[in-house]
Structure formats: C-alpha cells, structure tokens
Structure 1
Amino acid sequence: MKILHFSDLHVVPAGQRLFGLDPVLQLRNLIEHACAHHGDADLCVVTGDLTHQGEALAYAALKEELAALPMPTQLLVGNHDHRERFLHYFPEQGTDPHGFIQSYRDTADYRLVFMDTLSPGSPEGEYCAWRLQWLEQVLQSSMLPVLLFSHHPVMDMQFPSMDWIKLREHAAVMQLITSTQKVAYMFAGHVHRPAAGVWQGVPFATVAGTSHQHHFHSTQTGAAETSLEPAGYGVIHALTHTISVHFQLAQSYPRFIYEGPPLRLRD
C-alpha cells in the first residue's frame, strides 16, 4: 500500500494570504506535484491543521482543492481546526461514539488508525478518557499491525519549541501503545518539519507542512519560529513486514544521469 502523508495545510479563505503565502495555491501546487509523481497512491492522509482559523470558507476552499486528488483522503483535525465546521463540509469522515473525529480502516497488511487530538483553544493536543478508551478497543481488537496517525506527536522530538505543545496525555497513550504491542509506526503532523526516529521502541515520522514550516533549533524554547522553507509531504510504502517513508519536496528540480568517466577508488 502506498500512502501520501500531507499535514499542516493552514488553509485560509480563498484570496487571503498567511505569512505572505497563499496556502490555497501552496496546496494546489503540492497536489499537482503529488498527482504527477505519486498518483498511484492508494490513500492520502492529512494529519490536521487543515485550516488556520477554522473558518467555514477555508473548509470550502479545502474541499475544492482536495477534489483534484485521484485517491481517497482521510482527514484528521488539529489545534487550528473546528470540529463542527469541519464535519459540515466533510461529513463522510465520520466520528467515534462520542463525536470525536477518529476512525480506522483495515487493509491487507495493516490497520490504519486516525486519532482526534484537538483541544479547542489550546495549541497542545488532548486525549481524554473517552478517546483513550476508544483507542484501546481499536488496538486490542486488531489482528493486524497498526499504523497510527495523529496531529499532535505522542513522542518527544528533541525540538523544544514544539515538544512543549505535543500531546498532553502522551504518557497514557504511549503506555497503551507499548502494552498492546500492536503499533508498527506512528505518523504525526504539528511540527512542520520532516523528521524520523524511534520513541520507546516504536518508529515515528513527521512531515513538512504544505505551506509554511518551523525552523529547527535544538535548544530554543518558547514558540517556534516560522520559516518559509519549501513545502513537502511524505510517501509511505506499507508492505508486508516492510515500511519505508520518503520525504518529498513539493517542487521539481533538474535531473540527469551522470555519464562522465568512471569513478576510481583510492588505493
């Protein structure tokens, strides 16, 4: 299975700009790149912050842009989103029994689980007892290894200006992950950077935003600095017993095959 991983779109109503950028145009260009290079993907997962301020007109613009993707989309909400307005435009995304926008789908090799970590009015993620109970049931009932998608990271990133606003109940979620031993990989958004590693024995990856990024600094605390580095997305190959993640810049560069003299090794 091939999965595209988009995140942190921060779409604003059509015609508006954010940090000097047009997030709608940024997303459109990224989708065009993805269709040209990875149009054979089976699914596109978008891990939250779909809009910048949760406006109805921003969700309307988002819906129009996502219609260009040839594969199904799975949308998660982030701290910049608004549940009720989101569901008005994307009712097919579905909710759990308590109204949280989380679900799962089974494939031949994996169960894909999509978490709702939105805490209205807070940049931190939240995972209350109801959501945790749902996740426990979904993990325990799975006969397949799990790919876990969330907006807020469960793990520390060694990125102080983002780690302080990760998932607030990260310890409880991680205890569940390690006790069930079902999660093969964790994917998150929120940090606006491509990164990968292993947290308490579980591999993880995050991706660049489709619009603006966050400058990486290993010691700076407080709010992260916004950066206008190139947009990007992830390309996940989830095969039997094999998972690979590629970080794709959302723009093309000149390519060529080197045809010069053969390289020689030193004695």
Structure 2
Amino acid sequence: MKLLQITDIHLTTPGQTIGGRDPNANFDAALTHALTNHPDAEALFITGDLSDWGDAEDYARLRSRLKTIPIPVHLCIGNHDDRPTMLAEFPELADENGFVQQLVPLSTGHAITLDTWGPETHAGHFCEARAEWLDRQLADVDGPIWLFMHHNPVPLGIEPIDQIMQLDAARLAHTIRPHAAKIRHIFHGHCHLPLSGSFCGIPLSAPRGTNHASWPDFGAVNELSAADLTESYAVMLSHGEDVIVHMIEYGYTGKVRREGTPAYASWDRLTMIR
C-alpha cells in the first residue's frame, strides 16, 4: 500500500506570500509532483494548516482543487485553521460531536484522522469527547491502523515549538495505549521539520511541509526559527508488517547525478562518479 502525506499547505489569498514563497503555487506543485510520480498511491492525507488564516475563501478554493485529484483525499485540521469556517465548506468531515475526525477504510487496515484544534491557541488539544470517539474507533476495527493528526504528541526539545505541541498528549496516550498493537504508524505535521520517533512505542513521522520551513534551533527560548529549505511531502510504503516513509523534496531544482549501478562489481575507484 502506498499513501501520500502533504502537510502545512497554508493557503492564502492569491498573490500573498509567506516567507517570500507562494503557498498556493507550492501546493499545486506538490500535487502535480506527487500525482505524476506516484499515480499508484491509494490516498492522500493533508495533515492540517489548510489555510493560513482560516479564511472561507481558502477552503472554497481547496475544495475546488481537490475535485481535480483522481485519488481520495482526507483532511486534518491544524492550528491555523478555523473549525467552524472549515466545516461550513466541508460539513461531511464532522463526527457526531462536531470535530473534524473520520475513520477511513484502506486496502490495508484503516486510517483515522484526528482533530487536535483548539480555539485561540496554536497548541494542540484533545478533549475527553475526542478521546472517547477515538477509543470507540480503535476498539471497533481490526489493525493495522494509521493515525493522522496535525500536532506533534512528543516534545522536540525546542522550547518555542514545545509550547505549542499537543498539550493533551497524556490523554491521547491513555486512549491509544490499550490499542497500541493495532496502530502501525502515526503521521503528523505542524513543526515544519522532518521528524521521526515514537509515541507510546508507536513509530511516528512528519515531513517538512509544502511552503515555509522551520529550523531546529535547540537554543531558542521564545521565538520560532525559519530557514529557506526545500519544500516537501511524504510517501509511505507498507509491505506486510514493514513500513518506510520517504520525505520527497519536490522543491529541489538542482541537478540529480547518476552515479552508477548498485552492482558491487561495477564499483571502480577510477570510473565511479564521486
């Protein structure tokens, strides 16, 4: 099974930029690259910050763009989004409590998209109602289960980012720990950094994002740091019990060198391109 993850697209009013980059153009470029190079992907998951300011026009343009995509697309909500405005455009994404959460059948198990949004904050939240909903989904379906969410549930060791991580990580952990054997992988965004690790013993990962990038400044105290790094998305491949996640830096415009075949006999100190 192959899945695509795009995160932190930050759609804006056409013509506006973030960090000198056009998020609308970068989102289109990510879709074009992903769908051209991975037409066999089963589904695309966009893990939040769909709009930069939660504007209704951004969600309307997003819905229009998604109609052109030939594979299913599933959305998470991020801290830059606005839940009422988003659900006004995408009412089908609401669960019975009005949260942006869904259970998605896949050819290999199920995906679950989680709502970690909270009003007037950039930090992540996961209340008891959301936890009860997740517990029911995890109990009712067989594995493997793939979790998609916006906020990182594990601290990065970078103070400004950790201030706005998933603050209810303990409740989330309490909810998923009894079902951890079913959960194959956790995908998140939010940090604009390529990340890998684990939560409750479950592997997790995040790509950089499709527009502006963060910089891992471990000495930072109050301010977030940014850098002009290449835009990216992620490709997940599942083979039985095994999983690999690639970060695809589609914004790279430099040369790709052909260094030779992987056959050992062809490696020659004099002729190899190094």
- Provide the TM-score with structure 1 as the length reference: 0.91
1:138 aligns with 2:122: no
- Alignment check: 8 A CA contact 1:53 1:81 kept: yes
Which residue in the other structure is 1:263 paired with? 268
Which residue in the other structure is 1:29 paired with? 29
Which residue in the other structure is 1:100 paired with? 99
Cα distance in structure 1, aligned partners of 2:202 and 2:221? 26
Alignment deviations for residues 21-40 of structure 1 (CA, whole Å, 9 cap, x no partner) = 21101111111111221122
Cα distance in structure 2, aligned partners of 1:242 and 1:259? 28
* Cα pair distance change 1:188/1:71, threshold 3 Å: same
Secondary structure (helix, strand or coil) at the match of 2:19 reads: coil
Same amino acid, percent of matched pairs: 29
- Alignment check: 8 A CA contact 1:46 1:73 kept: yes
Shift in Å, 1:208:
1.1
Cα distance in structure 2, aligned partners of 1:24 and 1:64? 13
Secondary structure (helix, strand or coil) at the match of 1:75 reads: strand
Cα distance in structure 2, aligned partners of 1:136 and 1:259? 50
Greater mean alpha carbon deviation, residues 253-262 or residues 164-173: 253-262
Q: Which one-letter code corresponds to 1:216 in the other structure? A: P
Q: Which one-letter code corresponds to 1:57 in the other structure? A: E
Which residue in the other structure is 2:218 paired with? 218
- Alignment check: 8 A CA contact 1:14 1:57 kept: no
Structure 2 counterparts to residues 1-267 of structure 1, below 5 A: 1-92=1-92, 94-181=93-180, 182-251=182-251, 253-259=254-260, 262-263=267-268
* Cα pair distance change 1:151/1:135, threshold 3 Å: same
Shift in Å, 1:256:
4.2
Shift in Å, 1:178:
1.9
Alignment deviations for residues 129-158 of structure 1 (CA, whole Å, 9 cap, x no partner) = 100110111112221121111101112233
Shift in Å, 1:90:
2.4
Alignment deviations for residues 106-146 of structure 1 (CA, whole Å, 9 cap, x no partner) = 22322211000110110101111100110111112221121
Unaligned runs of 5+ in 2: 270-274
- Provide the TM-score with structure 2 as the length reference: 0.89
Shift in Å, 1:15:
2.3
Greater mean alpha carbon deviation, residues 105-114 or residues 219-228: 219-228
- Alignment check: 8 A CA contact 1:117 1:150 kept: yes
Cα distance in structure 2, aligned partners of 1:262 and 1:133? 57
Greater mean alpha carbon deviation, residues 211-220 or residues 3-12: 211-220
- Alignment check: 8 A CA contact 1:11 1:24 kept: yes
- Alignment check: 8 A CA contact 2:3 2:237 kept: yes
* Cα pair distance change 1:200/1:5, threshold 3 Å: same
Q: Which one-letter code corresponds to 2:216 in the other structure? A: F
Cα distance in structure 2, aligned partners of 1:42 and 1:6? 14
State the aligned residue count: 264
Secondary structure (helix, strand or coil) at the match of 1:204 reads: strand
Cα distance in structure 2, aligned partners of 1:69 and 1:254? 29
Q: Over the residues paired in the alignment, what is the CA RMSD in angstroms?
A: 2.0
- Alignment check: 8 A CA contact 1:77 1:83 kept: yes
Cα distance in structure 2, aligned partners of 1:99 and 1:221? 36
Alignment deviations for residues 20-71 of structure 1 (CA, whole Å, 9 cap, x no partner) = 2211011111111112211221100000000010011121232333334321
Q: Which one-letter code corresponds to 1:262 in the other structure? A: W
Cα distance in structure 1, aligned partners of 2:6 and 2:70? 15
Cα distance in structure 2, aligned partners of 1:180 and 1:86? 30
* Cα pair distance change 1:140/1:29, threshold 3 Å: same
- Alignment check: 8 A CA contact 1:237 1:244 kept: yes
